[in-house]
Chain A
Amino acid sequence: MGDISQQLTEQVKQAAETGTALAITGGASKSFLGRGLWGQPLSLAEHTGIVSYEPVELVMTARAGTRLADIDAVLAENNQRLAFEPPRFGDTDTIGGTLAANLSGPGRPWQGSVRDLVLGLRLINGRGEHLKFGGQVMKNVAGYDASRLQAGALGTLGVITEVSLKVLPLPAMEQTLVQPMAQQQAIATMNQLAGQPKPLSAACWYDGHLYLRLSGAAAAVEATAKRWMADSGGEMKVREDGEAFWRDLRDQRLPFFSGSEPLWRFSVNPTAAMEELGNQALIDWGGAQRWSRQDDSLSVMAERAARAGGQVSLFCHGDRSGEVMHPQPSPLRAIQQRLKAAFDPNGIFNPGHLYSWL
């Protein structure tokens, strides 16, 4: 547990001088993302520790290499949690990597994503300058939002060294409901239920079943569950090990995710039919996130995503030497290249990790 930011800054300065590519890593739990990493490793595994935590302010600041497990433990003591439910791909996932990859769990449409809950951060840019953006307050519109800009940038703009996040109370009660249902009907049902003012906190379709999670005040959860079960004519039932199901979904430990076939992640209009993905697809986020396992080209998948109002990425496996992220239109590509140069003029951070041209 310690602050090695000075050492990291020195390493970056040296790399900038010599034009050495750096491969930024934390817990190395998500190294399968992107187009692969090459270059001299810059490890944040030792840059750990919770810098400050004010339960009443709902704010925690932690060094980027701090493991999610350690954060969870401290939050749990105060009946709080990371409401964006970051996936764990091992025991070593860090908060910095979670933000760089912009990864959020099943509750994302209702509780927000890591990008939604980040309040500020510290970052070493490609000139070896240790910068501070945002802060520890909920509302802050001074300067550009360079903190949220990092979400999804996969470390291409700088080395995130510290993250401040909004944390939230644990829900008083959670309950999971399950009902056998065809895919298209499930999509319609998820969207219809999400339009009701009820404490829905996750909705997924997997293997011929609709899964719903309710979170909140016990009376509200129970009343809603009772009503929805009655409306289903007895088809909808309480699933007792609900917590385990959502955890396995979040951490990609359901059987769907095993094996080495290409895993595609679609972020689309929640109402899109996308029947071409077939009954093997897994639908999360109330319809807005679709997982599919098939061997196809990025351009075919990107076309499907675009028709469904969204984007696609080759999340895991498959050919990772080509592009793995949704194609960017040329003006956005140019802007991101210029932003990259604005933060990292020598192009030393994770070159080619996100896109070949970045």
Chain B
Amino acid sequence: MSVANSHETDTPRPIDGRTDFPPVYRASLADRFRRFLSPDSVITDDETIRPYECDGLSMYCEMPQMVLLPETVEQVQQIMRICHAEEVPVVARGAGTGLSAGAMPHAGGIVLSLAKFNRILSIDPQARSARLQPGVRNLAISEAAAKYGLYYGPDPSSQIACTIGGNVAENSGGVHCLKYGLTVHNLLSVEVVTAEGERVTIGSDGYDSCGMDLLALMTGSEGLLGIVTEVQVKLLPKPEVAQVVMAGFDTVQAAGAAVAGIIGHGIIPGGLEMMDGFAIQAAEDFAHAGYPTDAAALLLCEVDGTEEEVHDHIHQAESLFRALGATSVRTSGSEEERALLWKGRKSAFPAVGRISPDYYCMDGTIPRSQLAHVLTEMQRLSDHYGLRVANVFHAGDGNLHPLILFDANVEGEFERTEAFGGDILNLCVAVGGSITGEHGVGMEKIRQMPNQFGNLEVSQFHAIKQAFDTLGILNPGKGVPTLRQCQEYRAIGPLRQPDASQAGEASHG
């Protein structure tokens, strides 16, 4: 969607959905930014803006008025002061790897890229912490800390590319968060530039701060409450040893019971992942990790810690899995073998991508006890929509990642995929879970929010937003639906009944 430029108003206020930016105004605004930003840091031509039109969820795209690439916090403050005074929407952006269109631009606003904030400011090996600019890549933190025997805990699958600022915005998790927590558990402080352009530090070098927990509130707020300009994270000692047990099962139920068995036994694995038959097959064809392709479900259970502890727990895990009906059990005997067993899981997304023109990665959480029920229902929905689905699952913490396979070139198929995905998320809510475990609501899951929250909660969220951003210029339209949207989306119904012959109509839903 490009910008209508025929409108002749002199005071454009694009926040309330207005996307009409008179070219004269756009040019004068850009000039004001150029007074303190280098010329190449103010991007206004469509060709250079184009790469910013979407994040990792490329089906959602929009062209912003301009893209700004400041280099200092003072510049970010100046940008915010101008945008606040002019009521121009601001969408902050890190690496753009997000999967919920949280960084999709606003047609009447600017994209504030933090890509130039890419320095590791300091690492304190004694205090086990690191001060980072927001554009530092997640994996780069652990790489820099490695020489001290330390690492940064949260490891989202996009960790090669995603940035710590984006991790704060999304409260990113990863494979190891059952034991080591999400982003919110691994932060000490953030420096934030507010909607008004004020610079504040939330948190400290210590673990607790006085007053309301604003650090937790900022974490996962998807760029709606402030612009993160510095992050201080905790670093953890790298475990002495990590070993992984792979176990195949005949049924998803048996694998689910094995997950419960391990945790019930008092073992908190570093990572505990499940894949269904379809995902196993795709991953094995891709990675040749030696997965049991005849299994209906596969568990990868990684135990880390001291040598003694890992030895102990691996032995217990193997016996438990056998006792609980595993059809095959294999334990990594070397770092190479461990890497190989993980390779299949880590390449599950591209592996599925190889057998389908497109895939759509969903992200819901459920109580683990509901797993078998949810997978059965998902199969029913899959049959109904005529779309295949592969499941990879952070089984330890109940985070599902169903991958819906589709072909964007087939008319209506993406719309059907979205409807299918929406049904899965509503199913997660219905069994007591959440519509998003780690990808965020962004633009993508706005429709499902009213199924997880009532109007009172949604209103309270808006009031929280207002306390930080009275004018609503920070990432407007994302994260929390308006009450009008809530009413509209609820009217469509929480869960489409697969028996109705409405698969085709769902594309307009």
Residues on A facing B (Cβ under 8 Å): 54-59, 79, 102, 104, 108-109, 112-113, 115-116, 125, 129, 131-133, 135-146, 148-153, 156-157, 168-170, 172, 188, 191-192, 194-199, 216-220, 222-224, 266-272, 285, 288-289, 308-311, 313, 325-326, 328-329, 331-332, 335-336, 338-339, 341-343, 354-355
A104 vs B260: C-alpha distance when bound (angstroms): 28
A85 vs B131: C-alpha distance when bound (angstroms): 29
Question: Which of A137, A148, A156 contacts B217 (CB under 8 A)?
Answer: A148
Which residue of chain A is the closest to B304 with respect to CB atoms?
A197
A residues near B468, Cβ cutoff 8 Å: 335, 338
A83 vs B439: C-alpha distance when bound (angstroms): 27
Task: Flag B467-481 by CB within 8 Å of A: 1 or 0 each.
Answer: 110000000000110
Q: Is B126 a contact of A271 with CB atoms below 8 Å?
A: yes
Which residue of chain A is the closest to B186 with respect to CB atoms?
A116
Question: Which of A108, A217, A222, A326 contacts B207 (CB under 8 A)?
Answer: A108
The verdict on A219 contacting B150 (CB below 8 Å), with A139-B177, A268-B205, A339-B212 known, is no
Q: Is B268 a contact of A169 with CB atoms below 8 Å?
A: yes
- Report A268 CB to chain B, min CB distance, Å: 5
The verdict on A56 contacting B260 (CB below 8 Å), with A116-B181, A335-B468 known, is yes
A residues near B207, Cβ cutoff 8 Å: 108-109, 113, 267, 285, 288-289
- Report B117 CB to chain A, min CB distance, Å: 20
In chain B, positions 156-215 with a C-beta closer than 8 Å to chain A are 170-171, 173, 177-178, 181-182, 184-185, 194, 198, 200-202, 204-214
> Could you show 17 A-B contacts with beta carbons less than 8 Å apart?
A56-B260, A102-B213, A104-B208, A116-B184, A136-B367, A139-B177, A141-B434, A144-B465, A145-B220, A148-B216, A151-B213, A197-B237, A199-B306, A224-B306, A270-B206, A272-B205, A329-B200
The verdict on A149 contacting B212 (CB below 8 Å), with A131-B460, A217-B313 known, is yes
A residues near B432, Cβ cutoff 8 Å: 135-137
Query: Does B463 have its Cβ within 8 Å of any Cβ on chain A?
Result: yes
Q: Is A131 a contact of B185 with CB atoms below 8 Å?
A: no
Additional pairs, 8, CB under 8 Å, beyond known A112-B185, A146-B461: A115-B208, A115-B216, A116-B184, A140-B365, A146-B464, A148-B216, A197-B240, A272-B205
In chain B, positions 83-140 with a C-beta closer than 8 Å to chain A are 124-128
A130 vs B216: C-alpha distance when bound (angstroms): 22
Q: Is B398 a contact of A137 with CB atoms below 8 Å?
A: yes
The verdict on A56 contacting B368 (CB below 8 Å), with A125-B460, A332-B200 known, is yes
Q: Is B366 a contact of A169 with CB atoms below 8 Å?
A: no
The verdict on A342 contacting B212 (CB below 8 Å), with A219-B309, A220-B305, A267-B206 known, is no
A102 vs B200: C-alpha distance when bound (angstroms): 22
Query: Does B73 have its Cβ within 8 Å of any Cβ on chain A?
Result: no
Q: Is B441 a contact of A141 with CB atoms below 8 Å?
A: yes
A268 vs B214: C-alpha distance when bound (angstroms): 18
> How many B residues are at the interface, by size bracket?
35 or more
B residues near A354, Cβ cutoff 8 Å: 211
B residues near A270, Cβ cutoff 8 Å: 127-128, 205-206
Question: Which of A152, A170, A269 contacts B212 (CB under 8 A)?
Answer: A152
A residues near B127, Cβ cutoff 8 Å: 191, 269-271
User: Which 8 residue pairs of A and B lie closest in terms of their CB atoms, listed nearest first?
Assistant: A309-B205, A148-B216, A310-B206, A267-B206, A269-B205, A342-B463, A139-B437, A219-B308
Give the number of residue pairs across the A-B interface with Cβ within 8 Å: 285
- Report B296 CB to chain A, min CB distance, Å: 21
B residues near A268, Cβ cutoff 8 Å: 204-206
A157 vs B467: C-alpha distance when bound (angstroms): 13
A residues near B198, Cβ cutoff 8 Å: 331
B residues near A308, Cβ cutoff 8 Å: 205-206
Q: Is A139 a contact of B438 with CB atoms below 8 Å?
A: yes
Q: Is A141 a contact of B239 with CB atoms below 8 Å?
A: no
Query: Does B149 have its Cβ within 8 Å of any Cβ on chain A?
Result: yes
Query: Does B266 have its Cβ within 8 Å of any Cβ on chain A?
Result: yes
A132 vs B457: C-alpha distance when bound (angstroms): 7
Q: Is B204 a contact of A311 with CB atoms below 8 Å?
A: yes
Q: Is B434 a contact of A197 with CB atoms below 8 Å?
A: no
B residues near A329, Cβ cutoff 8 Å: 200-201
A326 vs B181: C-alpha distance when bound (angstroms): 28
Q: Is B210 a contact of A326 with CB atoms below 8 Å?
A: yes
Q: Is A191 a contact of B441 with CB atoms below 8 Å?
A: no
- Report A162 CB to chain B, min CB distance, Å: 14
Q: Is B220 a contact of A137 with CB atoms below 8 Å?
A: no
A309 vs B31: C-alpha distance when bound (angstroms): 40
A residues near B365, Cβ cutoff 8 Å: 137-140
Query: Does B445 have its Cβ within 8 Å of any Cβ on chain A?
Result: yes
Chain A CB within 10 Å — which of B125, B177, B211, B368 has the most?
B211
Which residue of chain B is the closest to A290 with respect to CB atoms?
B206
- Report B426 CB to chain A, min CB distance, Å: 12
- Report A219 CB to chain B, min CB distance, Å: 4
The verdict on A131 contacting B456 (CB below 8 Å), with A267-B207, A329-B200, A354-B211 known, is yes
- Report A215 CB to chain B, min CB distance, Å: 11
Chain B CB within 10 Å — which of A58, A138, A218, A267 has the most?
A138
Question: Which of B205, B211, B266, B460 contacts A355 (CB under 8 A)?
Answer: B211
